Each structure stands twice: as C-alpha cells, then as structure tokens.
C-alpha cells in the first residue's frame, strides 16, 4: 500500500519539497498535466517512476492556454480521482495550485516563441503555446526537476517545450513517450470525454487516415496529392479538419520533397464540438 501523495498548493512548497529531495541526493521527475488523467498520463508517471527516485505530478488547468471561445470552463476537473490514481502509482507529491498562485494580480510576463511554435496549432490557437510555455517554465522553475515527461500526442507542444528548455538553459531533461491509443487506434486524450457515442465510433478514423496517408507518402509520389487525399477522406468521414500537414520531425519546418529528412504527419480536426489532434512518424 502506497502512501498518499503530499498535496502541494504553492510554488514555495513545491520548491521546498523538491529542494529537500535534492538535498538528500535523490533525483526528481515531474509530470505536468491539466488533470483528467488517462492511461497516457499514467504511462508518463510509470516511466518517470523507473527513471528517478521521486515523482511529482502537477495538476493545473492553465487558463492562459485557452482562447476566449475555447473549453476552459468545460474542461474536466477531477482532482480527487486524479490524486487517487497517482497514489496507486506511488507518486510522492502532487502540485495542484489555483490560478491566483500561478498568475497573481499584476503577473505580466509571457514567453514569446518562434521556431517549432510557428504554424500548425498556432494558426488556429494563436494564444496556445505562449500559455503552455509560460506555465511549463513556471512549473520547471518551481520544482527544478531532473526530468519532465511529455507525451508525443501533443507533438508540437513537445518540440516547443524542448526548444524553450534549450534556449533558457533550464536544467531539466525533457523525456517524451509515444502516444497511448485505444485498441481501435484513437489517441487517448482528456477531450475524448466530450465525444457522443456516434462521434466516438467515427473518431478512430482520424488515426486510420493518418496511417493511410503516411503509408502513401512512404510509398512515394507527390506529398501535396497524398495530403489532399487524406484531407478529403477526413471530410468524407464527418470531420472538419483544421490541418493535415507533413513537417520535419525535429524542427517542424516544411520539408522539401524527397529530401530524406525525418518526417512527421500532424492533424487537427473537429468532430462535432470536439477538436482532436494526432500525429505519427512517417
Ligand atoms: O499537455 C498538457 O496537459 C498541458 O498543455 C500542459 C503541458 C500541462 C501545460 O498546461
């Protein structure tokens, strides 16, 4: 039976907690989350468990990464059950601050991004990565973990965070894990809970179209043709795609045809009122 995690509400307590672990010579891993934990998050916790001595998960629905018309208010908040799940995995601490702790009155600093933050999500959610980068920087500076875990499901976010950590020389290694999927291929996401039973039946088509398009690109021929075909297939299945794009897997720059560079295929599409994202290596 594991001890329940210690619940930390302030950045001062987060700092004191990890500092005391570090002073004992223990290594620390952080899993930043917005809660509503699913098996994808739990895989990150388990991997951190294997790599470090102490694990702290953070739960904070970060207002600055939501646009005015987005789902900030509706976003699922399930702290008690999240903490119970983290307890079963032996997580030692949970940092769950409120908005005033992270953004006290007068808070005026936001991280400004370029590089991998350009295009894709930013074209549709211009506020998103500044909010993510700012809160992740505050969390990493709050705890100075040795490693922090991120899922490849949010691939652009992963590269944005990696670039930020490199540019700001933050002393944390960013560890990425592959997307965890349902048996039918749907990428796990807290937003899958918004899908109606009908939409849930359609949703795995997002991953099938990604796989089919990636296979066609690998087989050769004109990228733009394959991407158009994939986009049309999504529309025929009932999605309203924002984008289906092929990018350099390391920089997210647009690739040259037949350049041999590592490629990533990324998609965002609406199914009813739910926006789903996914990506795969090509
Ligand atoms: O991926 C998420 O859940 C969030 O964007 C993150 C990294 C916890 C920042 O709020």
130-155 tens-digit pLDDT = 999 999 999 999 999 999 999 999 99
213-227 tens-digit pLDDT = 999 999 998 999 999
> Can 226 be counted among the known catalytic residues?
no
- 65, 149, 155, 191, best to mutate for ligand 1 pocket (most atoms within 8 Å of CB): 65
pLDDT at 276: 98
229-257 tens-digit pLDDT = 999 999 999 999 999 999 999 999 999 87
Say how many Å lie between the CA of residue 35 and the centre of ligand 1. 9
Q: How far apart are CA 27 and CA 192, in angstroms?
A: 34
Residue 239 CB neighbour total at 10 angstroms: 24
Specify whether the backbone of 90 is left (phi greater than 0), alpha (psi in -120 to 50) or beta: left
Q: How far apart are CA 230 and CA 11, in angstroms?
A: 45
Closest C-alpha residue for ligand 1 atom 3 = 33
pLDDT at 130: 98
**Beta carbons of 11 and 97 less than 8 angstroms apart:** yes
Strand ranges of the sheet holding 173-177, from the earlier edge strand across to the other edge: 6-8, 93-95, 54-59, 28-33, 147-151, 173-177
If you search the block for the tokens 């040795």, which residue do you land on?
146
Say how many Å lie between the CA of residue 222 and the centre of ligand 1. 35
pLDDT at 1: 63
Beta bridge partners of 162: none
Q: Which of 3, 22, 38, 41 is catalytic?
A: 41
pLDDT above 90 coverage of the chain, percent: 97
């Amino acid at each position: 039976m594991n001890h329940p995690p210690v619940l930390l509400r302030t950045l001062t307590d987060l700092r004191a907690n990890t500092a005391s672990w570090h002073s004992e010579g223990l290594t620390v891993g952080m899993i930043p989350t917005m809660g509503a934990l699913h098996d994808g998050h739990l895989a990150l916790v388990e991997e951190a468990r294997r790599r470090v001595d102490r694990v702290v998960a953070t739960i904070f629905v970060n207002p600055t990464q939501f646009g005015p018309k987005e789902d900030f208010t509706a976003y699922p908040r399930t702290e008690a059950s999240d903490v119970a799940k983290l307890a079963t995995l032996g997580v030692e601490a949970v940092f769950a601050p409120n908005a005033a702790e992270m953004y006290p009155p007068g808070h005026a600093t936001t991280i400004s991004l370029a590089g991998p933050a350009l295009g894709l999500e930013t074209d549709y959610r211009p506020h998103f990565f500044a909010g993510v980068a700012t809160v992740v920087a505050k969390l990493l500076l709050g705890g100075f973990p040795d490693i922090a875990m991120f899922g490849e499901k949010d691939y652009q976010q992963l590269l944005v965070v990696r670039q930020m950590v490199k540019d700001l020389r933050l002393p944390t290694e960013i560890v990425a894990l592959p997307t965890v999927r349902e048996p039918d291929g749907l990428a796990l996401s807290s937003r899958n809970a918004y899908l109606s039973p009908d939409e849930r039946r359609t949703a795995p088509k997002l991953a099938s179209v990604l796989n089919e398009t990636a296979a066609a690109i690998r087989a050769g021929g004109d990228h733009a043709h394959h991407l158009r075909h994939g986009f049309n297939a999504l529309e025929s299945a009932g999605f309203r795609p924002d984008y289906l794009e092929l990018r350099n897997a390391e920089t997210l720059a647009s690739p040259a045809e037949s350049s041999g560079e590592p490629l990533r295929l990324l998609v965002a599409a609406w199914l009813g009122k739910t926006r789903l994202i996914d990506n795969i290596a090509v």
